[in-house]
Structure 1
Amino acid sequence: MDYAQAGELKFGQVGIANLRVRTLDVAQLAAEMRDRVQRAPNLFDRTAVVLDFGGLSAAPSLADARALVDGLRAAGVLPVALAYGTREIDALSRELGLPLLAKFRAQYERADAAPATTPPQPAPSRAPEPAPPAKPAQAAAGPGLMQSAPVRSGQQVYAENRDLTVLSAVGAGAEVIADGSIHIYGALRGRALAGAQGNEDARIFCREFHAELVAVAGHYKVLEDIPKELRGKPVQVWLEKGQLKLAALD
């Protein structure tokens, strides 16, 4: 990963983009995003973007945050919310008139909460009875989601907590998302996002590769970043040491 970039862009569940700001340089961030929009205009067309200031040592000022929002909008990006991080970010979101992304709220509120104190207990008069052994939790392993009809432009299919198998094609402008892996037995011309909840072991398999975008656990590539020799071929996509890999299937 190139840490010289001012912002790390990831695509997560249901196509929402998360822009984690690592350097509060409005001009550089706007230029980076303008370049990304120009390379993949269909990807960013009315795509919701969440601003995450968790990579900064302190919350930005209201003036800097407003300048960033205005700069991103001028670059063709649509900021719609802030990722919850601290009470300062909470206050900033209110001043900007942007909501907080609820998915991040509970995680940080647990971290901010003061640890509960337990009053001292009197010593027991005798040794307590041993507790019965806890039963191991049983994971709910449901079958994968099967999509038999083609996924057409403008449609979205999401497989929550499972794999997704598409028996036909995924058209341009369509989107398939799974918390597990994605298997496509036809052409992939739209977007495929596997490991949407962060599963880095998820993979994407397709028989004919023309994807607008592929992502695993938020790490993504657009068509312009993909070697031309893989287009139209059977391809698999996976994550290895934080880098998105693509290879032709034998």
Structure 2
Amino acid sequence: MNVVGMDFEPAGELKIGQVGIANLRIRTLDVARLVDEMRSRVQRAPNLFDRAAVVLDFGGLAHAPDAATARSLIDGLRAAGVLPVALAYGTSEIEQLSIQLGLPLLAKFRAQYERVDGTPAPAAAATALPPRREPPPPEPPRAAPAPAAAQPQPGLMQVAPVRSGQQIYADHRDLTVLTTVGAGAEVIADGSVHIYGALRGRALAGAQGNTQARIFCREFHAELVAVAGHYKVLEDIPKDLIGKPVQVWLEDEQLRIAALD
């Protein structure tokens, strides 16, 4: 068999990377109201939300919607300017809905209390056993010396400016940017974000849900700031804070922004 000149390269290269996808947690299944809210968000911040990928999270409802209602919501959201791309995993009912809608299911793990078929796992019954005489236990082996304490992971330091289209992510640590974050750029940290220059793009702290994380920057022009999923866009920020040194934090589930003294 002649293999000279045969191309063994794949036609497409698949890579899994860090992506920013908004999570729309639905608390009231009112399709018209949800669509109006998302249309308003897109109109207020078109550069941020227009054609944004959105995961639909029905975990805030007592029951998952039927497929017809979910399709109506998806069509309405698309008309409003956002693109539902998946469902957030919640129960086996949600899993079935994702199959009916032809959308993927995003989940980190299946809850330990749920079986594969969706029924609750029974609690293990306690069984009383008659006492019996046990042989004396063997002498325990000498304990090995305790390992040295793990060294804390240092924060990620970004020296070069973060330019438009770039994304920097500090996994399980703080992020420090020594220069600027340009418009259209995004910096994300599971801990806090410290920016020693101008912030013109997006900054997201507490990406894994750390409500104690904060954002600090020396010159505030942010397109968006968020802590543990709670966000504000530039249009929501008081004008007297623009261009000032500020800090951003979460208090009583409300995002606070204040000038630094």
Q: TM class by shorter-chain length?
A: 0.7 to 0.9
How much does 1:204 deviate?
0.3
8 Å Cα contact 1:179-1:197 kept in structure 2: yes
Of residues 19, 26, 48 in structure 2, which corresponds to 1:21?
26
1:111 corresponds to: 113
- For residue 220 of structure 1, give the secondary structure of its aligned residue in structure 2: strand
**Scaled by the length of structure 2, what TM-score is found?**
0.83
**Cα offsets for 1:162-182 (capped at 9, x unmatched):** 000001110111000000000
1:8 corresponds to: none
Q: Which amino acid aligns with 2:180?
A: A
Query: What are the ranges of 5 or more consecutive residues in structure 2 without an aligned counterpart?
Result: 1-17, 116-120
Structure having the higher Rg: 2
8 Å Cα contact 1:237-1:247 kept in structure 2: yes
How much does 1:188 deviate?
0.3
Query: What are the ranges of 5 or more consecutive residues in structure 1 without an aligned counterpart?
Result: 1-12
How much does 1:125 deviate?
2.2
- Write out aligned runs for 1:35-184 (5 A): 35-103=40-108, 106=109, 108-113=110-115, 114-115=121-122, 117=124, 120=127, 123=132, 125=134, 141-184=152-195
8 Å Cα contact 1:14-1:158 kept in structure 2: no
More helix by share: 1
Q: Which amino acid aligns with 1:125?
A: E
**Cα offsets for 1:186-244 (capped at 9, x unmatched):** 10000000000001110000000000000000010000110000000000000111111
Q: Distance in 2 between matches of 1:78 and 1:119?
A: 50
Q: Distance in 2 between matches of 1:94 and 1:162?
A: 36
Answer 1 or 2: higher relative contact order, Cα 8 Å, separation at least 6: 1
Q: Distance in 2 between matches of 1:127 and 1:141?
A: 43
How much does 1:115 deviate?
4.4
How much does 1:128 deviate?
6.0
**Scaled by the length of structure 1, what TM-score is found?**
0.86
Of residues 234, 254, 258 in structure 2, which corresponds to 1:243?
254
2:207 corresponds to: 196
The 1:115–1:128 alpha-carbon spacing in structure 2 relative to 1, beyond 3 Å, is farther
Q: Distance in 2 between matches of 1:92 and 1:125?
A: 54
How much does 1:15 deviate?
2.5
1:225 corresponds to: 236
Q: Distance in 2 between matches of 1:93 and 1:27?
A: 21
Q: Distance in 2 between matches of 1:219 and 1:124?
A: 60
How much does 1:139 deviate?
5.8
8 Å Cα contact 1:14-1:177 kept in structure 2: no
How many equivalent pairs are there?
235
How much does 1:102 deviate?
2.4
Q: Which runs of structure 1 show a deviation greater than 4 angstroms over 4 or more consecutive aligned residues? A: 118-124, 126-132, 135-140
Q: Which amino acid aligns with 1:229?
A: D
Provide the identity percentage: 75
Q: Distance in 2 between matches of 1:124 and 1:204?
A: 63
